Amino acid sequence: QWTTASIVDEQVTRIREQVGTGRAICGLSGGVDSAVAAALVQRAIGDRLTCVFVDHGLLRAGERAQVERDFVAATGVNLVTVDARERFLGALAGVTDPEQKRKIIGREFIRVFEQAAQDLQDKAGAEGERYDFLVQGTLYPDVVESGGGTGAANIKSHHNVGGLPEDLQFALVEPLRALFKDEVRRVGTELGLPETIVQRQPFPGPGLGIRIIGEVTAERLEILRSADAIAREELTSAGLDRDIWQCPVVLLADVRSVGVQGDGRTYGHPVVLRPVSSEDAMTADWTRLPYDVLERISTRITNEVSEVNRVVLDVTSKPPGTIEWE
């Protein structure tokens, strides 16, 4: 009979067998899968694991702190944070096409991660050690989707790491390969990870970059981050987190609408609330959020985020609309 504790024990044993006295690197995305995979490997090999977290500047409010403070506090893991915010903004300057944004973000992410891995390798090399293993949070559905190939073949773009250079030869450690998402969450809880990490809703690898319709700039990110934080706060305090799959907040950055605030006319931007219910993100229904919750979100956003003077609700199912606007 499988219990969560026995899954943890078995994986810890396997990881120890695989890694031996070697060292491993793990890229953290802020998501559940990489966090749980890293926590398992750290349980198995302790400080011979180093995690790398790339801050691409497209994160939501508090997400970096969640990794740097909460994840580290829960696991005691070695963490390197790379602040790549300027680099990503530079690469995204002038870009409005969604697929183009995804390509750029994926490409830059890999480059930054490669460099961080190389730096770690160089440092370890100076002490006569090296990193031979790369930890990935591949789940069973990922394995099935890609026809059951090896980990290297089914790396998804954006928040997983792929295409490492020839001179960085890693063997993959994939302790979640046999598990489904709900099992991964239970393993995370068993390992002592906080609820905020274990129960996190899906968030796309390209982050807020694909929730700004138009060019991504530092100022627009700040506006969206503030509006998004309010929506999440209100949904959480209404106890709705488990009822919705996710609720993207989208900034229509190139659209302006007239408003009136105080005794002045404003000419601001609309944001869209996109609450959806889903089983697997392949199809989705728009969530009938209570009117009072919608009202609180709308009032707070227009009061607290001065550049936003209109909040609209997306009532489209998937299909025909995708969950994200880009």
Q: Which residues are annotated as a binding site?
A: 29-35
| Ordered DSSP codes for 92-144 | HTT---HHHHHHHHHHHHHHHHHHHHHHHHHHHHHTT--EEEEE----HHHHH
Q: Is 206 in the site for ligand XMP (CB under 6 A)?
A: yes
Q: Is 27 in the site for ligand XMP (CB under 6 A)?
A: no
Could you tell me if 206 and 88 are in contact, meaning their C-beta atoms sit under 8 angstroms apart? no
Minimum distance, C-beta of residue 326 to ligand XMP, in the bound complex (Å): 8
**Which residues line the annotated binding site for ATP?**
29-35
Minimum distance, C-beta of residue 266 to ligand XMP, in the bound complex (Å): 30
Q: Is 301 exposed, middle or buried (0-12, 13-18, 19+ CB in 10 A)?
A: buried
Q: Is 318 in the site for ligand XMP (CB under 6 A)?
A: yes
Minimum distance, C-beta of residue 81 to ligand XMP, in the bound complex (Å): 20
Where in 236-265 is the site for ligand XMP (CB under 6 A)?
246
Could you tell me if 240 and 289 are in contact, meaning their C-beta atoms sit under 8 angstroms apart? yes
- Return the number of the residue (28 or 74) whose C-beta is nearest ligand XMP: 28
Q: Is 324 in the site for ligand XMP (CB under 6 A)?
A: yes
Q: Is 178 in the site for ligand XMP (CB under 6 A)?
A: no
Could you tell me if 136 and 174 are in contact, meaning their C-beta atoms sit under 8 angstroms apart? yes
Q: Is 231 in the site for ligand XMP (CB under 6 A)?
A: no
Q: Is 159 in the site for ligand XMP (CB under 6 A)?
A: yes
Judged by CB under 6 A, the residue of 205, 268, 270, 275 near ligand XMP is 205
Q: What residue type is 283 in one-letter code?
A: T
The interface region with ligand XMP, picked from 87-95, 175-183, 204-212, 300-308 by CB under 6 A, is 204-212
The interface region with ligand XMP, picked from 68-76, 164-172, 203-211, 216-224 by CB under 6 A, is 203-211
Minimum distance, C-beta of residue 105 to ligand XMP, in the bound complex (Å): 8
Judged by CB under 6 A, the residue of 48, 60, 102, 225 near ligand XMP is 102
Tabulate helix, strand, coil % of the chain (nearest 5).
45, 20, 35
Q: Is 306 in the site for ligand XMP (CB under 6 A)?
A: no
User: Sign of dihedral through CA atoms 119, 128, 77, 134?
Assistant: positive
Question: 């293993």: which residue's tokens?
Answer: 133
Q: Is 151 in the site for ligand XMP (CB under 6 A)?
A: no
The interface region with ligand XMP, picked from 54-62, 120-128, 299-307, 315-323 by CB under 6 A, is 315-323
The interface region with ligand XMP, picked from 77-85, 200-208, 287-295, 303-311 by CB under 6 A, is 200-208
Q: Is 323 in the site for ligand XMP (CB under 6 A)?
A: yes
- Return the number of the residue (29 or 302) whose C-beta is nearest ligand XMP: 29
User: Sign of dihedral through CA atoms 247, 251, 255, 261?
Assistant: positive
Residue in 192, 195, 187 with CA at minimum distance from that of residue 4: 187
Residues touching ligand XMP, count (CB under 6 A): 13
**Reduced 3-state DSSP string for 150-188:** CHHHHCCCCCCCCCCCCCCCCEEECCCCCCCHHHHHHHH
Could you tell me if 212 and 307 are in contact, meaning their C-beta atoms sit under 8 angstroms apart? no
Residues forming contacts to ligand XMP in the complex (CB under 6 A) are 102, 158-159, 202, 204-206, 246, 281, 318, 322-324
